[in-house]
């Protein structure tokens, strides 16, 4: 994705950007091609940057493929949290 700074002198485009602050716009060319003009909030940008982090994506893929699970009883035993029964 490429970022382009829009000059305040680009009147029509600036007007469209102001409209896109209120609602997403579909821009349609004379030959029928359509483009989406939408405001990107900080969260959307953060997601985009996170997805570009190849090392993190590899880690998440590896973690997602893990099949092993640990029962609650095994976890308690591992951390010395055995429950005493009060019967």
Question: How far is 62 from 56, CA to CA, in rounded Å?
Answer: 10
Q: How many CA atoms lie within 13 A of 62 on its CB side?
A: 6
> Band of the pLDDT at 85, cuts 50, 70, 90?
low
Q: What is the mean pLDDT of residues 21-47?
A: 85
The pLDDT value recorded for residue 86 is 53
**CB-CB contact of 26 with 35 (8 Å):** yes
CA distances from 65 to 5, 6, 50, 56, 61 (A): 41, 44, 20, 14, 6
The pLDDT value recorded for residue 49 is 79
Q: What is the pLDDT of residues 40-78, one digit of tens each?
A: 776 777 788 788 899 999 999 988 888 888 888 888 999
Sketch the domain layout of the chain as residue ranges: 11-78
């Amino acid at each position: 994705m490429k970022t382009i700074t829009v000059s305040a002198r680009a009147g029509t485009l600036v007007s469209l950007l102001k409209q896109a602050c209120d609602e997403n716009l579909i821009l349609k060319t004379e030959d029928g091609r359509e483009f989406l003009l939408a405001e990107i909030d900080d969260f959307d940008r953060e997601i985009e940057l996170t997805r570009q982090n190849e090392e993190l994506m590899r880690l998440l893929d590896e973690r997602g493929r893990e099949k092993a699970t640990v029962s609650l009883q095994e976890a308690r035993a591992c951390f010395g949290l055995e429950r005493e029964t009060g019967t």
